[in-house]
Amino acid sequence: MAPLSTIGRSVLTFLRAIGQFFIFVTRSIIHCVIPPFYPRIFVRQIIEIGYLSLPVVGLTAIFTGMVLALQSFTGFSRFNAEGAIANVVVLSVTRELAPVLAGLMVAGRIGAAMAAEIGTMRVTEQIDALTVMSTNPFKYLIAPRVLAGTIALPCLVLIADIIGVMGGYIVSVYKLGFNPANYLHKTWEFLQPIDVISGLVKASAFGFIISLMGCYHGYTSKGGARGVGKATTSAVVSASILILGINYIVTEIFFAGSK
Q: Please tell me whether residue 135 binds other proteins under the rule CB under 8 A.
A: yes
Residue burial 248-257, b: 16+ Cβ < 10 Å; e: rest: eebeeebeee
Q: Please tell me whether residue 136 binds other proteins under the rule CB under 8 A.
A: yes
Q: Please tell me whether residue 251 binds other proteins under the rule CB under 8 A.
A: no
Q: Please tell me whether residue 134 binds other proteins under the rule CB under 8 A.
A: yes
* Rounded least distance, CB 144 to other proteins, Å: 13
* Rounded least distance, CB 129 to other proteins, Å: 4
Q: Please tell me whether residue 5 binds other proteins under the rule CB under 8 A.
A: no
Site size with other proteins, rule: CB under 8 A: 15
Ranges of H-type helices in the chain: 2-33, 39-49, 54-76, 85-92, 98-106, 112-123, 126-132, 137, 143-170, 180-190, 193-219, 224-255
Applying CB under 8 A, among 26, 77, 131, 233 the residue interacting with other proteins is: 131
Applying CB under 8 A, among 20, 26, 77, 124 the residue interacting with other proteins is: 124
Q: Which is nearer to other proteins, 126 or 251 (CB)?
A: 126
The CA distances from residue 165 to 72, 82, 184, in Å, are 14, 16, 9
123 residue type, one letter: V
Q: Which is nearer to other proteins, 90 or 121 (CB)?
A: 121
13: which residues sit within 8 A by CB, 6+ positions away? none
* Angle value at C-alpha 123, between 117 and 127, nearest 5 degrees: 70
Name the residues that contact other proteins, by CB under 8 A: 117, 120-121, 124-126, 128-136
